[in-house]
């Protein structure tokens, strides 16, 4: 009997030691993992993941006559073609100035059923005006768009600085490579002040709704990386970040994208199958993806197809290009 008790005691102690050893090894493993993660972060090496690919409803329309498809149809087509999300162009909505709640909620429902995210609302505004009433009208419009995005469950809206308006047609502006003269009697510094002050007035609504303002390199005062980052840095808010468009830096796009990529939370990617409507850029998307990975960009890449080829063939080809570049790790 004494030997049996001693044997049981010995086995019990062994089990306790083994359990303690296992517990300690788990703690050690956790600590080692944390140390590894911290070391990775300290060395600047950050884990990567494939970017999700969206399509802008603009890609189906491109402001071409008789091609303004309903947003609902764009959502259906995006899902059928294999996209992960849909970037809604605000002015493509039914009654964009006052869309009804039923309309908005049905767009959400349609996206859910189709298995795609509503990931961005691309809006238009201009804060570059000496007229305070005109600026306030654009501030009010932007706040309305923030609230629309909130009702749609969209976490970001695309905003613009606006431009001087001294070039009367967009075709002429494109012929001039997006460059236009400053309004006579005023300076660029005044223009930046109007933009910065106006954006700041939109921030309380953005923070309340949890909707980031993504300032795009979209002509006007954000045509250059210097102008874009001047505005971002002056506003200095987590609710204003960069929305990068790959097709709007017409010269040396790679260096300019690199200058802004660290602040980017959304990307719109141009393709030009069949030749561009206004111009064509030969963009190396493998190189662009490398730049964005270098800056640990994990957000959406949204196709803005801007070519003359039929969208039914060009958009799937564009998706293949973007998946090949952005759809891998590392």
Alpha carbon distance 297, 294 (integer Å): 8
The answer to whether residues 90 and 145 touch, using CB atoms and an 8 Å cutoff, is yes
* Per-residue model confidence as pLDDT tens digits over 72-120: 999 999 999 999 999 999 999 999 999 999 999 999 999 999 999 999 9
Q: Find all residues with CB under 8 Å of 60, minimum gap 6, and list them.
A: 67, 69, 73, 74, 77, 311, 315
Among 138, 92, 136, 125, smallest CA distance to 220 is for 125
Mean pLDDT over all residues of the chain?
88
* Per-residue model confidence as pLDDT tens digits over 248-300: 999 999 999 999 999 999 999 999 999 999 999 999 999 999 999 999 999 99
- Phi, psi angles (nearest 5°) of residue 34: -65, -40
Q: Residue with structure tokens 């949890």? A: 210
Please tell me the class of the 51-326 domain.
alpha beta
Residue 1's pLDDT is 41
33: pLDDT strictly greater than 50? no
In terms of residues, how long is the chain? 330
């Amino acid at each position: 009997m004494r030997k049996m008790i001693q044997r049981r005691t010995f086995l019990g102690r062994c089990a306790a030691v083994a359990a303690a050893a296992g517990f300690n090894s788990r703690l050690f493993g956790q600590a080692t993992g944390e140390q590894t993660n911290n070391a990775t972060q300290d060395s600047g090496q950050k884990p990567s993941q494939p970017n999700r690919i969206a399509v802008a409803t603009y890609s189906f329309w491109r402001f071409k006559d008789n091609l303004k498809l309903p947003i609902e149809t764009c959502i259906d087509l995006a899902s059928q073609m294999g996209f992960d999300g849909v970037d809604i162009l605000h002015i493509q909505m039914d009654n964009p100035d006052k869309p009804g709640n039923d309309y908005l909620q049905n767009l959400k429902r349609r996206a859910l059923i189709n298995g795609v995210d509503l990931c961005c609302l691309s809006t238009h505004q201009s804060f570059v005006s000496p007229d305070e009433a005109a600026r306030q009208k654009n501030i009010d419009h932007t706040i309305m768009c923030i609230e629309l995005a909130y009702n749609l469950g969209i976490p970001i809206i695309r905003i613009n600085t606006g431009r001087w308006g001294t070039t009367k047609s967009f075709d002429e502006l494109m012929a001039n490579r997006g460059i236009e003269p400053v309004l006579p009697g005023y300076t660029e510094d005044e223009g930046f002040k109007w933009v910065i002050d106006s954006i700041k007035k939109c921030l309380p609504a953005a923070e309340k709704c949890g909707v980031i303002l993504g300032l795009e390199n979209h002509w006007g005062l954000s045509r250059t990386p210097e102008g874009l980052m001047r505005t971002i840095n002056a506003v200095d808010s987590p609710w204003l970040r960069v929305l990068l468009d790959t097709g709007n830096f017409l010269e040396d796009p790679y260096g300019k994208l690199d200058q802004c990529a660290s602040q980017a939370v959304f990307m719109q990617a141009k393709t030009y199958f069949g030749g561009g409507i206004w111009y064509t850029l030969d963009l190396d998307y493998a190189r662009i993806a490398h730049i964005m990975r270098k800056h640990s960009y994990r957000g959406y890449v949204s196709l803005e197809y801007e070519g003359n080829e039929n969208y039914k063939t060009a958009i799937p080809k564009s998706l293949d290009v973007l998946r090949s570049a952005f759809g891998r790790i590392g």
